[in-house]
Amino acid sequence: MKNKKWISLMILAAIGLSGCSTASSESAKKETETKQPKYVFYFIGDGMGASHRGLAENYMQWKNQDANYKLSMNQMPVTANVTTNSLSSTITDSAAAGTALSTGIKTATGVIGMDGKGKDNYTTILESMQKDGYGVGMATTVSITHATPAAFGAHVPDRNDEVTIADQYLKADYDYLAGGGAQYFQTKDAGGKREDGKDLAKAFGEQGYDVDSSLKDFEETDFTKTDKYLGIYEPKYLTDVITQKNVEKTSPTLAEMVKGGIDVLSQNNKGFFMMVEGGYIDGAAHNNDTPAVLNEVLSFEESVAEAKKFYDKHPDETLILVTADHETGGLSLGYNSYKMDFEAVDRVKSSFGNTMESYIEKKDYDGLYHAMEKEWQVKLSDDDKALVQNRLNTFPIADLMADMGIPESEKEKAEGMKHMMGIGGYAASPILSKETKIAWTTQAHTAETVPLTAIGVGSKDFGECEDNTDIPQTLAEIMDVKIGK
């Protein structure tokens, strides 16, 4: 345990986080005295490793010309470093990691809220706090039925069964749900994924929920007068942050969703629990899209800062936890250089997926090269183009199939998954890495440990966490509720 803790301190020090499990000042000691919090925020950056947090902080130091600038999530007094392996693999997926973070028990890759065989349900921290009388809610930048939120509020053997996950949310009667994923609540006739003909959004409305399906709806909602809420603003994931900032805003920000959630859940006199996910940090990292990742992490940071404002008003009643389910991409803050070029990052105003991915799908490589030059403001040499073409032709689909247990008979299906697996980033990101001096090692998840930071009531107890399962177990002990089996 001492060796693990020493390694944790070294890694956390590298991104500017304190390595102490409790703060040294008297005020920090007072604020982390162990008692039961009334309000709990559980932030999860999907795919957000230490380097992702470091990227955002270093960028803001450059942007503000302030070498001492710290992200809110990086200046919390309690820190730890946690392992993320699943029951079935050293490198986890979000379903297994989310289940570990919500139930305190490891499960197999792809399984949501159940044992590794997908037979027995595990009780989550959200469910146990709802049962104990707290208001409960979730917000995310991807589908509200996606793996991480589902791991807190549903139980299915296959993470892809998002229609069933939506059904379970209705039955569970959670107080606040906000994100994407409208297609899992809509019938096929309405453009959705439901084959049972059930309009689930309507069913939520009949159950007493205010239901928003657009940014306009969200902006017109008075959350202080809403005690049950479902927000499903886009069909699947919410549009990535960099596109919403520079092209068109199509959904509320994560910080705005957190504020709305606070207004709804605060109406419960006993208190509340809110899980908040920066879901598309992972998607952008799969594509090795440094500017998009940066914008997603900064948006996540703004949501943490929103919770911190609430904490500042209720310091003796609030606990904030910030962590990740796993690291994605093997992000390297440096690439054959002793500096990063944030000017090159700042010039990019679009995401790879939004402006370039379609050219790969159509095999329009001249269109891809033109888009890369335009969007990244680079000049591609013949060698650059040859490199991109070669990487497109040699994408390691066979290795990924083997790792994911996809049989050879389903190779055609796997070929169709190339884009989800990050073929675009694999092919093109070396060009951007050369410009920005920021690199990536993989399109997949990694087994790297991830940081945990905490502030508030009971936070000092989280300084000893060494594995992702320790986090909900510690929280359940503080809240005096039962989770897991």
Query: Is pLDDT at 433 greater than 50 in this prediction?
Result: yes
pTM, two decimals, is 0.92
> What digits encode the pLDDT tens for the residues 435-477?
999 999 998 999 999 999 999 999 999 999 999 999 999 999 9
Q: pLDDT band at 34, cuts 50/70/90?
A: low
CA gap 153, 165 in Å, rounded = 8
445 annotated as ligand-binding = yes
Query: What's the full length of the chain, in residues?
Result: 485
* DSSP secondary structure letters along 345-403: HHT--S-HHHHTHHHHHTT-HHHHHHHHHHHHT----HHHHHHHHHHHHT--HHHHHHH
Give me the mean pLDDT over the 131-159 stretch: 98
Q: pLDDT band at 35, cuts 50/70/90?
A: confident
At residue 188, φ and ψ (nearest 5 deg) are: -60, -35
Look over the chain and give the mean of its residue pLDDT values, rounded to a whole number. Answer: 92
**Degrees to nearest 5, angle at CA 305 with 300 and 307:** 100
User: Could you give the angle at which helices 470-479 and 94-103 cross, rounded to 10 degrees?
Assistant: 30
470 annotated as ligand-binding = no
Hey, which residues are catalytic here? 94
146 annotated as ligand-binding = yes
370 annotated as ligand-binding = no
pLDDT confidence of residue 479: 98
3-state secondary structure of 405: coil
Query: Is pLDDT at 12 greater than 60 in this prediction?
Result: no
Q: pLDDT band at 420, cuts 50/70/90?
A: low
Question: Please, is 107 exposed, middle or buried when counting C-beta atoms within 10 Å of its C-beta (0-12, 13-18, 19+)?
Answer: buried
Q: pLDDT band at 22, cuts 50/70/90?
A: very low
One-letter amino acid of 365: Y
Query: Which domains are present in the chain?
Result: 2-20+30-331+445-479 (3.40.720.10), 346-436 (no CATH)
* DSSP secondary structure letters along 251-301: S--HHHHHHHHHHHHTTSTT-EEEEEEETHHHHHHHTT-HHHHHHHHHHHH
314 annotated as ligand-binding = no
Query: Is pLDDT at 263 greater than 80 in this prediction?
Result: yes
286 annotated as ligand-binding = yes
DSSP count for the chain of H helices, then E strands = 22, 11
CA proximity to 475, closest of 171, 220, 158, 123: 123
Query: Is pLDDT at 143 greater than 60 in this prediction?
Result: yes
